[in-house]
Amino acid sequence: MDKNTLIIDCGSGYCKAGFSGEIDPTIIIPTTVWHPISNNMITTDDKSSLLFGGKALEAENGLLVHPIEKRKIVKWDDMELFLDNLFTNELKIKPEDYCIFMTEPPLTTKSSRETLTQLLFEKFNAPFIFVTNGAVLTSYGACKYSGLVLDVGYDSSIAVPIEYGYPYSSCIQTIDVGGKDVSEYLKKLLVNKGYEERKIKNSIDIIKEKYCYIEDEKNAKIKSDNKNIKITKFNLPDGTEISLDKEKFLGPEILFHPEMINKTLGGLDYIFCSALSSIDHTTKNKFEGDNLILAGASTLFEGFNERLKFEIDKDFGGKYKNRMNFINIKERKNLQWIGASIYSIMHIFKGLCTSKEEYNNYGTEAVHNKCFY
């Protein structure tokens, strides 16, 4: 079955899809659907007029939909349209020829899992499906089966304690801050400097990934008040030159101080320590997961590890100083998908899949019999 397993890791920002045993996903596209608007009415019936992925982000004068928000599928009709396009136009496969392996976020409800099961079996006629906890897959991608996964996602971040492949759901901590917020704040800072939003919006992620970094808190405060900061020049596609100075480190600063954008107090260091503190009170013995498994593109900012250690030591008095063995994987922005690829070639995988026959016999609840989280 492994060669005929399709792995789909759909997040709020991007969908990564590819085949079992591969090192990297075959495609990575934004999880977006664009509907044209005609006579003040949203077009939904004509699929040929819809746009997906990157083309959807570039389109104007229509409705842009993100089917997944804050790690939850919130627009099921658009999710169906997105998956249909993924199979037909992006991967050019027939889903009925593959076992469909889909990752699911921690804290996914049973009803959401059942709706996904119904969609895959009835709409796409999959012969087998498998869904499981994405944080566990992230730990597999790092070749660690115990530890704390800190995943900085598109529009939210999450800390999940895992011990021997089991996630402690009651100890999970989340904040509604992620890479999207860094981009939006960076854009706001540049607009405040006088640059036109329409000119910079399509280049903001490039600027973020190429030039942004994380400063330690003391230097960030000093530099933000200093006018003599080294300036970086960047040329937009239309030839406009923009200057970057303190925006380069102020953008990512919201990951540690989300109150800067009027969000909750407490950043990534807070959810890390809260998750560890919670599991220390939950387990009878000391939690053995001393590995901090970093995931998500925003953890790749220069200075991220050093700042996270500093914030944890500062706010929690060194209590967790010796419990931060950082697991740095180069491809950690795809770590969840990589973990799924590894999981799908294990000898136990075939027996964990739910078949169409089981679905026909027991309905949507059949998926819970082989999903342990």
Give residue 94's pLDDT. 96
At 65-76, the pLDDT tens digits run: 999 999 999 999
The answer to which of 53-57, 157-161, 224-228, 237-241 has the lowest mean pLDDT is 224-228
Ranges of each domain in the chain: 2-31+66-133+335-370, 143-177+260-328, 179-254
Beta-sheet pairing, 325-327 with 291-295:
parallel
Distance of alpha carbon 195 from alpha carbon 247, whole angstroms: 13
Tokens of 63: 């409705």
Confirm whether 2-31+66-133+335-370 and 143-177+260-328 share one CATH topology: yes
Measured N-to-C along each axis, helices 134-141 and 335-344 cross at an angle, to the nearest 10 degrees, of 90
Contact between 157 and 274 under an 8 Å Cβ cutoff? The reply is no
pLDDT band at 250 (very low <50, low <70, confident <90, very high): very high
Domain at 143-177+260-328, CATH homologous superfamily:
ATPase, nucleotide binding domain (3.30.420.40)
Give residue 52's pLDDT. 97
Give residue 346's pLDDT. 93
Give residue 290's pLDDT. 74
Average pLDDT over every residue of 270-298: 85
Q: What angle do CA 5, 131, 64 make, to 5 degrees?
A: 95
Instruction: Give the helix ranges, DSSP H, for 51-145.
Output: 53-58, 76-85, 110-118, 134-141
Contact between 174 and 271 under an 8 Å Cβ cutoff? The reply is yes
Distances in Å between the alpha carbon of 196 and those of 134, 190, 207?
38, 8, 15
Give residue 134's pLDDT. 95
At 107-130, the pLDDT tens digits run: 999 999 999 999 999 999 999 999
Distance of alpha carbon 103 from alpha carbon 133, whole angstroms: 6
Does the pLDDT value for residue 329 go beyond 90?
A: no
Q: What angle do CA 163, 168, 169 make, to 5 degrees?
A: 155
Does the pLDDT value for residue 2 go beyond 50?
A: no
> Which is more confidently placed, 168 or 323?
168
pLDDT band at 220 (very low <50, low <70, confident <90, very high): low
Give residue 373's pLDDT. 77
Burial of residue 267 (CB within 10 Å: 0-12, 13-18, 19+) is buried
Does the pLDDT value for residue 301 go beyond 80?
A: yes
Report the SS3 class of residue 76.
helix
Does the pLDDT value for residue 320 go beyond 80?
A: no
Provide the mean pLDDT of the chain.
Answer: 90
Place of tokens 């706001």: 188
Report the SS3 class of residue 127.
coil
Strand positions, DSSP E, 143-290: 147-152, 157-163, 166-167, 173-175, 232-235, 241-244
- The alpha carbon of residue 64 and the mean position of all alpha carbons in its chain are separated, in whole angstroms, by 19
At 155-197, the pLDDT tens digits run: 999 999 999 899 999 999 999 999 999 999 999 999 999 999 9
Q: What is the DSSP-derived secondary structure letter of residue 302?
A: B
Give residue 372's pLDDT. 73
In CATH, the number for domain 179-254 is 3.90.640.10
Question: Residue 263 is which amino acid?
Answer: K
Does the pLDDT value for residue 317 go beyond 80?
A: no
| Closest to 5 (Cα-Cα) out of 135, 99, 129 | 99
Tokens of 1: 């079955």
Give residue 42's pLDDT. 64
The answer to which of 38-42, 232-236, 248-252, 278-282 has the lowest mean pLDDT is 38-42
Domain formed by 2-31+66-133+335-370, architecture: 2-Layer Sandwich (3.30)
Q: What angle do CA 38, 40, 46 make, to 5 degrees?
A: 35
Distance of alpha carbon 126 from alpha carbon 296, whole angstroms: 29
